[in-house]
Amino acid sequence: MVDAKGRSMKCLTFFLMLPEAVKKSKKAPKASRLPVCYDILALNQRMPGDTSSSNSTSSNKRAPANSCPGSNYQQNLNNNNTIQAGNWQGLYPTIRERNAVMFNNDLMADVHFVVGPQGGSQRLPGHKYVLAVGSSVFHAMFYGELAEDKDEIRIPDVEPCAFLTMLKYIYCDEIELAADTVLATLYAAKKYIVPHLARACVNFLETSLSAKNACVLLSQSCLFEEPELTQRCWEVIDAQAELALKSEGFCDIDYQTLQSILNRETLNAKEIVLFEAVLNWAEVECQRRELSANIENKRKVLGKALYQIRIPAMSLDDFANGAAQSGVLTLHETNDIFLWYTAAKKPDLEFVSRPRKGLAPQRCHRFQSCAYRSNQWRYRGRCDSIQFAVDRRVFVAGFGLYGSSCGAAEYSVTLELKRQGVLLGQNFTKFYSDGSSHTFPVWFDHPVQIEPDTFYTASVVLDGNELSYFGQEGLTEVQCGKVSFQFQCSSDSTNGTGVQGGQLPELIFYA
């Protein structure tokens, strides 16, 4: 049984563009402030080269510590004990190549490391001089004033694969990262003060950020004291809050991270979604503590975090049909919240009652003017499309569209967002046009993450009053705050929209 108060962190479920994840386990001692293990959780499919069963979701068993994910990755870290006798040095023209031969090689090794926990460790050879040149920690270990002359050093808190990845960087000046070992590698790089490798790990995590792993990485980035990664995580969580809260990884965050998310003013999420996500977290936390997942224990593991959910900020319908019937609230709490909604004299509540501010959407307008002419612009159910690219990560929440130029009208609209033909976001909705030349917003169900320096295709198909306003004097580049947008024509456009004129005048986004 794991005592939540005694833990400083836990090894979290981690998934980064891959079906494999890191499963929860016991935390490291509080003094270390760093994770000691990274277990693999099978989700949808297995990693290449992994023939183990995928039915491990409910198991706490660790993967063998000496097994690296993927056959290709394992091959790159194989032992080098294949050197032929004689002048092997003459085969390699540079010192870098000759030094690389010594990677994971028993030849001339003057120290060995037993890496990994007991029962899953791996014995790895090392060369003190090479290690000391690559790490100040190894230098102090082997050549410092308190150096101990040991032939074998035990390192139970580092995974063998992560240690080998670090050694390969030190010996070969090569960085090879895998999604389900990058956190363990970051831990090793931090522990042995190998800053360039640590930076590469952080960059890998930043480029792999998505709504499904942002909460887990938020927890880890705080633990590793990586403020830039923390900020990137918050950007994703704020903009795609509902997706992040519904992700499986949310249930694996630690209590402190849970509280920081609940305190966040800029979450773009309905409070009922947050409430349901917290109940899911409480159920999983009960399992981690080996408690029955009943109402009493859920409230126990949530503690003060329950009152950080802004239940009075929910709509009355969401409260009555959701939170009020969840069983988590006491009868007294439920009654007081109903009175808070309806009574002139409102009772005092322990819950925060003010709504979250959320994020303010920004608009990128790509036309300098708009116009209308008799018998022009007609929709007729054809596609209006444009391609765009940005210079930093943003989240497109919807489009601003022109409406009817012949008085008020209602339109049905299909909006899509694609990358290289792959559909990323789609919605079927309606909007009302009052006959003015203003733009009218239409939204995706969830904001779509847009990566920099890649062209995306925005498309709409409208059905309604045919004659519409249209844009003129289009710009190929628009600066919106810190974000630069570039536009180019799309081959998907069959209704005349292009860079210079047409429809899709605005992209609505969060940055």
The DSSP output letter for 36 is -
Structurally, what CATH architecture does the domain formed by 227-342 represent? Alpha Horseshoe (1.25)
pLDDT at position 49 = 34
pLDDT at position 18 = 34
Integer Cα distance of 414 and 31 in angstroms: 55
pTM of the model: 0.77
Integer Cα distance of 35 and 19 in angstroms: 21
Please list, in sequence order, all residues whose beta carbon lies within 8 angstroms of the beta carbon of residue 482, skipping any fewer than 6 positions away.
392, 511
Provide CATH code, domain 4-223: 3.30.710.10
Cβ–Cβ under 8 Å, residues 15 and 43:
yes
Integer Cα distance of 411 and 290 in angstroms: 54
Residues 48, 53, 57: CA angle, nearest 5 degrees: 105
pLDDT at position 89 = 85
Here the contacts of 492-498 (C-beta below 8 Å, separation 24 or greater) are 492/383, 492/385, 492/457, 492/459, 493/383, 493/384, 493/385, 493/386, 493/459, 494/382, 494/383, 494/385, 495/379, 495/380, 495/382, 495/383, 495/384, 496/377, 496/384, 497/384, 497/385, 497/386, 498/386, 498/474
Q: Other C-beta atoms within 10 Å of 422: how many?
A: 8
> Nearest Cα to 319, choosing from 334, 306, 331?
334
pLDDT at position 243 = 95
pLDDT at position 82 = 57
pLDDT at position 375 = 64
Give Cα 315 to chain centroid, integer Å: 29
Integer Cα distance of 253 and 7 in angstroms: 12
Please list, in sequence order, all residues whose beta carbon lies within 8 angstroms of the beta carbon of residue 353, skipping any fewer than 6 positions away.
310, 312, 313, 340
**Burial environment of residue 454 by CB neighbours within 10 A (0 to 12, 13 to 18, 19 or more):** exposed
Cβ–Cβ under 8 Å, residues 184 and 157:
no
DSSP 208-240: T--TTTHHHHHHHHHHTT-HHHHHHHHHHHHHT
Q: Other C-beta atoms within 10 Å of 378: how many?
A: 14
Provide CATH code, domain 362-510: 2.60.120.820
Question: Residue 171: in which H helix or E strand, if any?
Answer: helix 160-172
Q: Other C-beta atoms within 10 Å of 62: how many?
A: 18
DSSP E strands in 282-421: the ranges are 362-365, 367-371, 383-390, 394-402, 409-419
**For residue 434, what are its two tokens?**
């009052």
**Same fold for the domain at 4-223 and the one at 227-342?**
no
At residue 402, the 3 state secondary structure works out as: strand
Integer Cα distance of 224 and 7 in angstroms: 16
At residue 441, the 3 state secondary structure works out as: strand
Domain ranges (residues) in the chain:
4-223, 227-342, 362-510
Integer Cα distance of 280 and 155 in angstroms: 36
Residue ranges in the chain modelled with pLDDT below 50: 1-67, 69-73, 75
